[in-house]
Amino acid sequence: MAKGYWIVRVDVTDPEAYRAYGAANAEAFRKFGARFLVRAGKYETVEGTSRSRNVVIEFKDYATALACYRSPEYAAAKMLRVGPAALSHGSPFLTEPAPLYPRRIGSFDS
């Protein structure tokens, strides 16, 4: 079964208060078996625009990634991030990987 991922590009507007969001989202991430693959490391924008922080979180499958995002545990944490204080502005999205099969380099077939 294919893994599921949260991919988040975010600008944190209040780093100190953002720590409370990080502590609050831990409950949902533990419950749904989340694993951080990328968390605010070094990056370079080679095309387009970027945000100041990039995060990739892995889940056992897409359904679990979606269930975590829609869970009451994450909803409570999310209110700290996007509520009246708006600790960050970003573009989160959930995805699953493309199926792996042999194809030519440079091919844009799905």
pLDDT at 72 (0 to 100): 96
Provide mean pLDDT across the span 90-109: 65
DSSP state letters, 32-63: TT-EEEEES------SS---SEEEEEEESSHH
Domain-embedded: residue 110: no
Structurally, the chain folds into a number of domains equal to 1
Domain-embedded: residue 67: yes
pTM of the shown model: 0.79
CB 57 within 8 A of CB 40: no
pLDDT at 59 (0 to 100): 96
Q: Which of the four pLDDT bands, split at 50, 70 and 90, describes residue 53?
A: confident
- 56 pLDDT higher than 70: yes
- Domain limits for position 40: 4-95
Domain-embedded: residue 15: yes
The CATH number for 16's domain is: 3.30.70.100
Domain-embedded: residue 56: yes
More confident residue, 89 or 26: 26
